[in-house]
Amino acid sequence: MNKVYGVNTGVITAIGADTEACLRALKAGSTGIGKADFLKTHWQEELPVGEVKYSNEQLAALTGMNAGYPRTALLSAVSAMEACQPFAGKTAGLKTGFISANTVGGMDLTEGLYREIKEQHDPKVVGEIIHHECGAITELVAQHLGIHGFVSTISTACSSSANSIMMGAQMIRSGMLDVVLAGGADCLSRFTLNGFNTLMILDRQPCQPFDDERRGLNLGEGAGYLVLMNERAAKQCGAEPLCIVSGYANANDAYHQTASSPEGVGNKLAMEQAIQTAGLSPADIDYINLHGTGTANNDSSEGKAIAAIFGDAVPLASSTKGYTGHTLGGCGGVEAVFCALALRDGVVFPNLRWQKQMQDLNWKPVTELLTGRNLRHVLSNSFGFGGNCSSLVFSKA
């Protein structure tokens, strides 16, 4: 069966507009959580977010796209273009696909038009929301990139872009595609912020994942993509592998619309099956990039599932959402990039703002930057609403 190589990355988050900028911030422990500048909301002074530090006009200038497009499309294009740039003009004859994820779609534009539609009753205004649905975001970016082969959108809440990478890897392994740009993006919107606030799971301070006194999550925005290739494509494109996508799994505990089961049933299934798919045992995992949102339910259920799998030998583990915020449909792609960098550079990024051991866990996250580590296999978790749980295993190339 074909190996699936991750050969390049693209990422934009609140801590940086490209891979190297994000890496510098991760190593320096610099957070992107703070007051929103571009998202205009009633909660602007009260709810910190991980906002990308570029306006739509600035993002459009970076990409050459229309500034009137949804912000999710602009974020997606920035990171997708970074990931693809080294291989421009080199993929002739290769079966190429673009599998992208998001959950917000064009909501940022739709909610801005709501008042206008309500007050004017003008049916022509409705035509301005043609990019509302999630698939439209992928189509806009695919057209901009000139990808006309296999194009698909995945929207499974916060596991969305992890599932994009899983699907891309499966299609390469099966021989259906040679090259896949896989990941996802999401922007902040008032609708999302208000929805999460209604669930009472937002932190009014910078979040503290896996801390016993955690209060909730900070929403963020961003995009992250991996270019995946089989061996033939990598040779043709002169690509040097960063990592191998060696394992993956998706499970669903069907426990609750917005919460994981207290025991982390779906979390455990996804992790176990991803490790098994990679042909590994739990003892082979050197680092876990935790889903780690900072909510009471998520961290407890994920932590218990990890303890059930690894026992007293839990690997090094940390959540990077204290840097970026929870980027929703983009988090699996963003954190896949972070995992590829961890493998490449032998680093483990610290879990920011951790202070107190969780009482119901027998382990704690890494709280200082670790360097010079021989990381062979890294597990990345992305767990979504509705119990949609996905885990990916990245191995050293």
- Residue 163's closest CA among 103, 116, 115? 103
Q: Is 121 a catalytic residue?
A: no
Q: Is 291 a catalytic residue?
A: yes
Residue 392 near residue 245, CB atoms below 8 Å:
yes
Separation CA 97–CA 94 (nearest Å): 10
Q: Which of 22, 84, 158, 331 is catalytic?
A: 158
- Residue 326's closest CA among 195, 180, 226, 228? 195
- Give SS3 for 337: helix
Q: Which of 131, 132, 144, 291 is catalytic?
A: 291
- Give SS3 for 391: strand
Separation CA 251–CA 268 (nearest Å): 9
Backbone dihedral region for residue 386 (phi beyond 0: left; psi -120 to 50: alpha; all else: beta)? left
Q: Is 326 a catalytic residue?
A: yes
Structure tokens at 397: 């190339």
Pairing of strands 316-318, 287-289: parallel
Separation CA 101–CA 181 (nearest Å): 11
Separation CA 206–CA 215 (nearest Å): 9
β-bridge mates for residue 181, sequence order = 98, 227
Q: Is 175 exposed, middle or buried (0-12, 13-18, 19+ CB in 10 A)?
A: exposed
End-to-end CA distance of the chain: 16
Q: Which of 131, 132, 326, 377 is catalytic?
A: 326
Please list, residue by residue across 181-200, b when 16 or more beta carbons sit within 10 angstroms of its beta carbon and e when fewer do.
bbbbbbbbbbebbbebbeee
Residue 396 near residue 378, CB atoms below 8 Å:
no
- Give SS3 for 289: strand
Residues near 113 by beta carbon (within 8 Å), at least 6 away in sequence: 125, 128, 129
Catalytic residues: 158, 291, 326
